[in-house]
């Protein structure tokens, strides 16, 4: 109908305006990625965009939903390659660091060792709506007309502080738009997509990404990471005690009461969740991808998380290499994988990229108000000062 596109255009324009007016405040200093602050974890160099999309063929699409005073959420979609992921499946594995959450489709990924849809991230009470929308989107494809089973993969974190999560505001249209607008190149970070309403270490959290490219002597493979950061702990950056020095960290009420008697914004137990997605072009089967996924917890731990009781810490790793791709109805698999002895550099790259992606999620996030709450962006000027005092960032 002719009126529908016009209404959609008005709605999209209104949402974009709302993001600008409600999501960014004058007191926010210009945001910066970790490397802009002199923080470059590890030894390996990043790829061109320092993003998950540095793995060739991987695309990311995001839709940010900001409506009225209460809706602050969104959708982030990760597509493993340009083709139909159901017909041309990538090996994959899921590691559960702490299972307080929902990761739709994860049991079949681990059972069969493969991914057959894109990966969608959203808010906790919207996972089923997002899964239904992605299933409909996939089943409409001309080459899917006879398909009677589909394992969609949807992860979540709980943005119920800033977002009216009970309204379940994520729509099928938002999921479709994230899937259909996915692209390579730079990835928007911070308070966008599935990170619009998230909180990390008591500060505004969000979407973060990073990558590592191994030297040619170690295979030349690329490892890319994207995180949806919504968890707690005691923030440290390259070992610098940022959370302690900014006086915002888990359990602070028990160990060091605030001087003004207030509780502060940090969750006292460090609860929350994180979804970590790792992509690589290294030719890995699902067994070694499970090993890669488990190493993500080391990168998470470096940032100050202890994977609290109320934290849902999930990692999904997949390989895009042609030599390990699985045709849906092939009678046998003829794959060529890296040997176990070649895995250590991939592990190292994964740990480094996870750590940096989390820093990027926090540093790039902007102050957001919604649902009666305001969560501040971490003050980067103070972070810089702390990093300088600890010899991490360059002197002025």
Q: How much of the chain exceeds pLDDT 70, in percent?
A: 90
Considering Cα of 248, then 253, then 256, then 262, what sign does the dihedral take? positive
Q: Which two tokens stand for residue 347?
A: 């592990």
Nearest to 80 by CA among 328, 287, 277: 277
Structure tokens at 59: 């695309």
CA distance 195 to 207: 5
* pLDDT the model gives residue 2: 36
Active-site entry in 305, 311, 319, 350: 311
The yes-or-no answer on residue 344 being catalytic is no
Per-residue confidence (pLDDT) for residue 16, from 0 to 100 = 42
CA-CA distance, 227 to 291, in Å (whole number)?
18
Does pTM top 0.85 for this prediction? yes
Blockwise average pLDDT, block size 10, the chain, 396 residues: 37 40 49 97 98 98 97 98 97 97 97 98 98 98 96 98 97 98 98 98 97 98 98 96 95 71 58 96 98 98 95 97 90 87 97 98 98 97 96 83
Per annotation, catalytic residue among 164, 271, 313, 350: 313
What are the strands, taking DSSP E only, across 80-177?
Answer: 88-99, 103-104, 114-115, 119-123, 153-157
* pLDDT at residue 328, as a whole number: 87
d(CA 342, CA 48): 24
Of residues 230, 89, 228, the one with CA closest to residue 159: 230
DSSP class per residue in 203-257: EE-EEEEEEEE--GGGT--EEEEEEEEE--S---BTTB-HHHHTT--TTHHHHS-
Take residue 62 and report the two structure tokens written for it. Answer: 């995001």
Q: DSSP assignment, residue 30?
A: P
Token pair, residue 16, equals: 């974009």
Name the active-site residue from 106, 191, 211, 273.
Answer: 273
Cβ(348)–Cβ(218) under 8 Å? Answer: no
Pairing verdict, β 326-327 and 272-280: unpaired
Residue 62 burial (10 A CB sphere; 0-12, 13-18, 19+): buried
pLDDT for the residue numbered 334: 79
Q: What is the pLDDT of residue 258?
A: 55
Q: How far is it, in rounded angstroms, from Cα 370 to Cα 161?
A: 8
Of 382, 384, 371, 390, nearest in space to 68 by CA: 371
| 323 belongs to the catalytic site | no
- Complete domains list, the chain, with CATH: 3-389 (3.60.70.12)
Contact predicate 319/338, CB 8 Å: no
pLDDT of residue 28: 63
**Is 311 labeled as catalytic in the residue annotation?**
yes
């Amino acid at each position: 109908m002719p009126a529908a596109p016009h209404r959609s255009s008005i709605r999209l324009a209104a949402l974009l305006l709302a993001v600008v007016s409600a999501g960014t405040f004058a007191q926010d200093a210009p945001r910066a990625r970790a490397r802009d602050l002199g923080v470059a974890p590890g030894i390996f160099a990043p790829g061109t965009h320092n993003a998950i999309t540095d793995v060739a063929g991987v695309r990311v699409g995001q839709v940010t939903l900001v409506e009225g005073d209460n809706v602050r959420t969104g959708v982030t979609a990760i597509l493993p390659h340009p083709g139909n992921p159901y017909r041309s499946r990538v090996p994959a594995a899921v590691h559960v660091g702490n299972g307080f959450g929902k990761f739709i489709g994860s049991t079949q990924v681990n059972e069969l060792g493969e991914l057959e849809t894109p990966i969608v991230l959203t808010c906790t009470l919207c996972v089923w709506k997002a899964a239904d929308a992605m299933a409909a989107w996939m089943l409409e494809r001309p080459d899917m007309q006879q398909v009677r089973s589909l394992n969609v993969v949807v992860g979540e974190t709980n943005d119920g502080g800033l977002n009216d999560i009970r309204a379940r505001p994520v729509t099928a249209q938002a999921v479709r738009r994230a899937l259909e607008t996915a692209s390579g190149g730079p990835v928007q970070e911070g308070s966008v997509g599935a990170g619009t309403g998230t909180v990390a270490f008591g500060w505004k959290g969000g979407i973060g990404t990073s990558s590592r490219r191994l030297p040619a002597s170690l295979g030349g493979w690329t490892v890319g990471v994207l995180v949806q950061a919504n968890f707690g702990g005691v923030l440290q950056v390259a070992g610098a005690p940022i959370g302690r020095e900014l006086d915002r960290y888990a359990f602070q009420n028990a160990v060091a009461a605030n001087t003004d008697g207030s509780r502060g914004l940090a969750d006292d137990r460090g609860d929350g969740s994180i979804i970590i997605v790792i992509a690589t072009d290294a030719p890995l089967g699902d067994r070694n991808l499970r090993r890669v996924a488990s190493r993500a917890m080391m990168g998470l731990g470096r940032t100050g998380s202890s994977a609290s009781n109320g934290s849902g810490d999930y990692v999904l790793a997949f390989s895009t290499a042609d030599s390990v791709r699985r045709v849906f109805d092939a009678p046998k698999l003829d794959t060529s994988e890296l040997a176990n002895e070649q895995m250590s550099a991939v592990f190292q790259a994964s740990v480094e990229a996870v750590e940096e992606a989390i820093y990027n999620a926090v540093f790039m996030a902007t102050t957001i108000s919604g649902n009666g709450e305001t969560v501040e962006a971490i003050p980067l000027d103070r972070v810089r000062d702390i990093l300088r005092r600890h010899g991490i960032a360059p002197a002025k």
